């Protein structure tokens, strides 16, 4: 028996997942931590939290499972994308990491477009310059912390700092690398033109690897810290969205992944490096060698529901909150919710977008507001779904839904009705960490490729079909929803501070 470990360093916790060579989950552990918001629009985190979480969580899963650590065949890595970690010549952290949800870099995004031209930027990288991406964060440090930039020698993404601590190697995977917008999407490596234009020395960047590739081996210090054997292979893995798609088997064209976590992601695998000309969809490399993906991201999906519960119904369980909402008619008697609590990415790359309830009357009760949140998030995700369909690169055969929000039968039904598509659930529920473990298994030779790994370990467990009356009602309501952002944009800009 061989075992595999997937490590997921997210914004709020580092999870370690131990699976066997049949894909069965043996043990799971997570170490939680916080992030800091020292100024409006800022979001930062100490990278040592990820390393501490990795060590603690690995030790916990080994203890839970009671397995001999020598039976672990490989480690795969995943984690939050787009963050900026800067190290000096000794490999020491120079400043807190700037995270994916940091919104301070709007001026730097404008400058990147000015230097390269938006059309050229999108043609090379597959993406417009957005505040969440890594490249504008680098420019921000260049311009605002020149003393830090002068000392910087290595640029890493969050999960790749964990890799560095495990192996001493400066390396990344192509999916996460593409999310920096410093990548040549077609060539699946760093773009000399973008680097030169942004005055970033190529030697500062890690080597890039396909998802199942071996990137290094466990060092003596890391072996001592984790309890794992010296020389254990550490596999490239993927950014959390690409690894999460592997974790639900969305690795072939036609199978769309819908991740309903704090943020919401609609993810579609493609066989080529297709670029949406306006850059409204993200186009990145997949963790599967030779494949790419299109992705739409909304920033406050299940995060909207958590905010709503904590603000208006604190102390109530989600089940108790959602049960009365099931009795509210589809469309909430004209009440709509805009889910832009932390700005938005797709289809409106606007850090100043704001949330709103629209259409409130005295007839609306708490269950109406609750259902409106569920429906508003579904409408926001449909924006991405429609962009992916209109791109013409994906013949959608199936939508696989995962994440905390997917546990709600009501929310799954609303999504199926809003999308007018069948939603299915699968047997795997550990998302990105499970995908990282599968990639580790491919890298260790347990499965010949990613397709084989997912075929042997992942299967459909449930289906939610759209219901005709609600589909028609939501089609009408969606058109009203689409009109709200353009109408309210001047007000959002006026109240932003």
Cis peptide before 278 (omega within 30 of 0): no
Asked if 394 and 256 touch (Cβ cutoff 8 Å), the reply is: yes
Task: Just list the catalytic residues.
Answer: 240
Question: 118: phi > 0 → left, psi -120 to 50 → alpha, else beta; which?
Answer: alpha
Distance of CA 413 to the CA centre of its chain: 23
Asked if 182 and 208 touch (Cβ cutoff 8 Å), the reply is: no
Cα–Cα distance for residue pair 495/497, rounded to 1 Å: 6
Cα–Cα distance for residue pair 8/245, rounded to 1 Å: 14
Asked if 113 and 41 touch (Cβ cutoff 8 Å), the reply is: no
Distance of CA 414 to the CA centre of its chain: 22
b (16+ CB within 10 A) / e for 382-408: bbbbbbbbebebbebebbbbbbbbbbb
- How many other C-beta atoms are found inside a 10 Å radius of the C-beta of residue 316? 13
The CA radius of gyration of the chain, in Å to the nearest whole number, is 22
The 3-state DSSP class for residue 84 equals strand
Angle ∠(86,88,91) on CA atoms, nearest 5: 90
307, two tokens:
């905010």
Cα–Cα distance for residue pair 264/303, rounded to 1 Å: 9
H helix or E strand, kind and range, residue 398: strand 398-402
CA count, 13 A, side-chain hemisphere, 148: 20
Enumerate residues 6+ apart whose C-beta is below 8 A from 328: 367, 368, 370, 371
Strand partners, 347: none
Which letter does DSSP use for residue 288 in this model? S
Asked if 158 and 101 touch (Cβ cutoff 8 Å), the reply is: no
Cα–Cα distance for residue pair 182/204, rounded to 1 Å: 12
The 3-state DSSP class for residue 347 equals coil
217, two tokens:
């081996």
H helix or E strand, kind and range, residue 60: helix 48-65
């Amino acid at each position: 028996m061989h075992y595999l470990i997937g490590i997921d360093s997210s914004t709020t916790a580092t999870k370690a997942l131990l699976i066997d060579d049949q894909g069965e989950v043996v043990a799971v552990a997570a170490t939680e931590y916080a992030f800091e918001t020292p100024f409006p629009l800022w979001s930062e985190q100490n990278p040592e939290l990820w390393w501490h979480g990795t060590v603690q969580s690995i030790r916990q899963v080994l203890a839970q499972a009671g397995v001999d650590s020598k039976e672990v065949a490989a480690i795969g890595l995943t984690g939050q994308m787009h963050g900026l970690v800067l190290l000096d010549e000794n490999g020491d952290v120079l400043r807190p990491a700037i995270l994916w949800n940091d919104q301070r870099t709007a001026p730097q995004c404008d400058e990147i477009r000015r230097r390269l031209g938006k059309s050229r930027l999108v043609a090379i990288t597959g993406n417009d310059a957005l505040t969440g991406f890594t490249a504008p964060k680098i420019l921000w440090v260049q311009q605002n912390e020149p003393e830090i930039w002068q000392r910087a020698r290595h640029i890493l993404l969050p999960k790749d700092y964990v890799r560095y601590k495990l192996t001493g190697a400066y390396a990344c995977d192509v999916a996460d690398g593409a999310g920096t917008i410093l990548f040549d999407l077609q060539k699946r490596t760093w773009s000399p033109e973008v680097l030169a234009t942004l005055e970033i020395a190529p030697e500062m960047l890690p080597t890039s690897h396909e998802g199942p590739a071996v990137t290094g081996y466990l060092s003596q210090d890391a072996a001592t810290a984790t309890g794992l054997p010296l020389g254990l292979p550490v596999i490239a893995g993927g950014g959390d969205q690409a690894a999460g798609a592997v974790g639900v088997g969305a690795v072939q064209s036609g199978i769309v992944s819908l991740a309903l976590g704090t943020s919401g992601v609609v993810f579609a695998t493609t066989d080529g490096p297709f670029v949406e000309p306006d850059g409204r969809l993200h186009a990145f490399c997949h963790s599967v060698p030779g494949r790419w993906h299109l992705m739409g991201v909304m920033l406050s999906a299940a995060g909207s529901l958590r905010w709503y519960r904590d603000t208006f119904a604190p102390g109530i369980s989600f089940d108790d909150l959602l049960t009365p909402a099931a009795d509210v008619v589809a469309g909430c008697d004209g009440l709509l919710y805009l889910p832009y609590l932390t700005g938005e990415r797709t289809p409106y790359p606007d850090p100043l977008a704001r949330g709103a309830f629209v259409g409130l009357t005295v007839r609306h009760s708490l269950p109406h507001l609750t259902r409106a949140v569920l429906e508003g998030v579904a409408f926001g995700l449909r924006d991405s779904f429609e962009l992916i369909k209109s791109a013409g690169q994906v013949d959608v055969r199936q939508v696989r839904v995962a994440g905390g929000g997917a546990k709600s039968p009501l929310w799954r039904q609303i999504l199926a009705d809003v999308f007018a598509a069948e939603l299915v659930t699968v047997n795997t529920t550990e998302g990105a960490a499970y995908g990282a473990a599968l990639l580790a298994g491919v890298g260790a030779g347990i499965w010949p490729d990613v397709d084989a790994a997912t075929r042997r370990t992942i299967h459909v467990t449930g289906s939610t079909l759209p219901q005709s009356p609600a589909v028609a009602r939501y089609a009408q309501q969606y058109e009203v929803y689409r009109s709200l952002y353009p109408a309210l944009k001047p007000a959002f800009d006026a109240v932003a501070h």
